[in-house]
Structure 1
Amino acid sequence: MNQGNRSKTGLRGLTIAPAAAMVLLLTACNGSAHVEPEDAKKSILGVVDETASTVGGKWSVYSEPTAESCGDAAEDGLTYTYILMHDAPSADPTQAVGAVEELWKDKGITTERYRSGAADPIVGIRGRGGPATTMDFLADKRRFSIVGVSECADGSAVEERQRESGSPEAR
């Protein structure tokens, strides 16, 4: 993917990075999970990719699955955050939200729809549970996005990032 052409500007002037950070802040887990990091990563990859397939169209990776700490300390466990973007979608936003809602409910994710108060509203759906700590699908006629945060897994986010990067300190 040509990262030079990738826009980090979200819908209507909002940037996606702060929105993703807000999702992470709102979803801190307590570190009591008994999920292995690789299983958490595979699970969030699967549900985010399946969500994109359900909506259809050409999606691009905004952020590869990244290990983040679940709690206050690095050893409190880790989650993976994975973000996909779809610029200029052809699907109707409200219909896309309905399809995502059905998929997520089938996966055991509790859902809640939302919409902005604008005359031309942005619609979306949030989810919790099942294979994810949280999910968010935002739909606007100009851009769709999916943010998935995995279940909290055992381990340290710092050590997991070092391991994934092949850093000698992780060996």
Structure 2
Amino acid sequence: MADEPGYAKFKLDPLTARMSIVSTSDTQPPIYATAESLSAAVSEFPTSNTVPVEVAGLLSVASKLLVASVLQYEFAAVAMEKALQGVELAVRIRLDSTSARVKLFGLIDKLLDLPGFAQADIDRLHDMRKMRNIFAHPKEAAALPLVMCVGWVRFCSEVIVEIFDQPDSSE
């Protein structure tokens, strides 16, 4: 069917196709980026039916952008951006903090008030926040290792599920 007239043929982005989506070691060989390998990776990201639809939607977009990065490498960085937007929205919803005056920096620190979050998680989220600021005000297109992008979106998914899989403090 793809050989029929009217169907577009897509070529893999040469940068993405040579990248592993997992950290490699003596026991972990590379898993090269293909639509199939990225689809399999994002299908293993944690999900929960307790996550509000608007937050889940941002994670879905991030996952789809990761898979699409095999066609356009820069989509992976956009996926990272969307995933962190999901974390920000999740924290705002969970802590009922809709004021634009409360910045992401303060929201991240408030996660320490919830069970399940360690200082290392907060530090990693602050590092991601700093990178998000670079994405939001770029001097040039972001180019990051795909393994970092996949790990970032996975971590954001874990954080979001943790945020909503907790009882309300009023319970």
Which TM bucket (shorter chain)? Answer: under 0.3
Normalized against structure 2, the TM-score is what?
0.27
Higher strand share: 1
Structure with the bigger percentage of helix: 2
TM-score w.r.t. length of structure 1: 0.27
* Higher relative contact order structure (alpha carbons within 8 Å, sequence separation ≥ 6): 2
* Larger-Rg structure: 2
